[in-house]
């Protein structure tokens, strides 16, 4: 009787050992590493564009987040990717959600991946609609108000980025993390990059609203750049925007130079036909990303 019992235990042990080593369990482990959690929804059945609403405790609200994944994300389960955080998420990926046409970020990154063999994860954060101005400005304007930008960037750094790094296979260090936006989005990207230099090593400052506050220049002048801290910064504007746009951006670029940023770390681009419109930023995005990310 004892021998029969021992043989039964041995057979059960062998059976479970076989199951645990079977292809089914190996596949499940790969899927756990490869696919994000079920609360990320595919946008209109797109394999590579996901959305999710997350808590925004700094403003006691929720906000839709977009994530655009590289073409090989599901098939190359050991690969990790650099990230770029972009504001005005409604305008980034689809025309139907945009204000005046999207930037086509998903398609642009897919084209660049085919060209360079390097994938990038893009994270889009919807703006707060009526609260957009307040969230994208760190300093108050005497007429327009605002000034909640520090809380918005705190959300990006303390809440959003840790969640993204946990949910997706990202390269977490500053040299692999970019932030970019246009207009007020360019202003808040500038602030985020200097306020959190240990988080963001690449900054896209497109058509920035430096006119909003003189304090932006003081903030840049007071920034202490460490000698071993390398950045990549892209300044971009159109010459058909406001008459102050290019001079304001030039003034900020000169401050960066005086503060120890090298010309190799920065790109200063103006386009003669450029206007303060989505089509302009969409057109210029591939070259800006080539400098920032590749």
Tens of pLDDT along the chain (294 residues)?
Answer: 545 445 444 544 444 444 444 443 333 333 334 567 678 999 987 889 999 999 999 999 999 999 999 999 999 999 999 999 999 999 999 999 998 899 999 999 999 999 999 999 999 999 999 999 999 999 999 999 999 999 999 999 999 999 999 999 999 999 999 999 999 999 999 999 999 999 999 999 999 999 999 999 999 999 999 989 999 999 999 999 999 999 999 999 999 999 999 999 999 999 999 999 999 999 999 999 999 999
Q: How far apart are CA 107 and CA 6, in angstroms?
A: 62
Among 259, 167, 264, smallest CA distance to 218 is for 259
For residue 219, the model assigns a pLDDT of 98
CB atoms within 10 A of CB 43: 17
Work out whether strand 120-125 and strand 61-68 pair parallel, antiparallel, or are unpaired: antiparallel
Query: 211 near 139, Cβ under 8 Å?
Result: no
Angle at 216 between CA 214 and CA 219, to 5 degrees: 120
Residue spans of beta strands (DSSP E) within the chain: 41-42, 49-56, 61-68, 82-86, 120-125, 177-182, 202-206, 232-238, 266-271
Concatenated DSSP letters for 225-249?
A: --TT---EEEEEEETTS-TTHHHHH
For residue 55, the model assigns a pLDDT of 97
Q: How far apart are CA 256 and CA 203, in angstroms?
A: 13
CA quadruple 12, 14, 20, 24: dihedral sign: negative
40: phi then psi, degrees, rounded to nearest 5: -85, 125
Entry pTM? 0.88
Among 194, 196, 204, 202, smallest CA distance to 259 is for 194
Q: How far apart are CA 212 and CA 215, in angstroms?
A: 9
Spacing of C-alpha 248 from chain mean position: 25
For residue 227, the model assigns a pLDDT of 87
Check residue 204 and report its DSSP letter. Answer: E
Residue spans of beta strands (DSSP E) within 72-195: 82-86, 120-125, 177-182
For residue 34, the model assigns a pLDDT of 55
């Amino acid at each position: 009787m004892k021998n029969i019992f021992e043989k039964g235990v041995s057979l059960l042990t062998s059976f479970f050992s076989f199951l645990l080593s079977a292809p089914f369990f190996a596949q499940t482990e790969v899927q756990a590493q490869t696919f994000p959690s079920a609360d990320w929804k595919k946008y209109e059945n797109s394999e590579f564009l996901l959305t999710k609403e997350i808590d925004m405790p700094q403003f006691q609200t929720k906000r839709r987040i977009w994530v655009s994944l590289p073409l090989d994300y599901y098939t190359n389960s050991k690969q990790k990717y650099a990230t770029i955080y972009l504001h005005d998420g409604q305008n980034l990926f689809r025309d139907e959600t945009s204000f005046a046409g999207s930037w086509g970020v998903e398609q642009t990154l897919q084209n660049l991946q085919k060209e360079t063999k390097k994938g990038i994860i893009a994270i889009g954060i919807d703006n707060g609609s009526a609260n957009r101005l307040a969230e994208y400005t760190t300093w108050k304007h005497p007429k327009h108000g605002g000034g909640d930008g520090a809380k918005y960037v705190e959300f990006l750094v303390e809440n959003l980025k840790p969640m993204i790094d946990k949910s997706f296979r990202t390269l977490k260090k500053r040299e692999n993390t970019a932030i970019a936006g246009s207009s007020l989005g360019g202003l808040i990207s500038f602030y985020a990059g200097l306020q959190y230099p240990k988080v963001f090593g690449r900054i896209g400052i497109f058509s920035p609203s430096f006119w909003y506050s003189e304090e932006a220049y003081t903030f840049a002048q007071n920034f202490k750049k460490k000698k071993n801290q390398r950045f990549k910064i892209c300044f971009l504007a159109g010459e058909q925007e406001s008459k102050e746009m290019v001079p304001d951006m030039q003034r900020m670029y000169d401050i960066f130079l005086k503060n120890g940023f090298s010309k190799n770390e920065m790109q200063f681009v103006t386009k003669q036909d450029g206007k303060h419109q989505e089509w302009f930023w969409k057109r210029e995005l591939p070259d800006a990303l080539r400098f920032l990310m590749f």
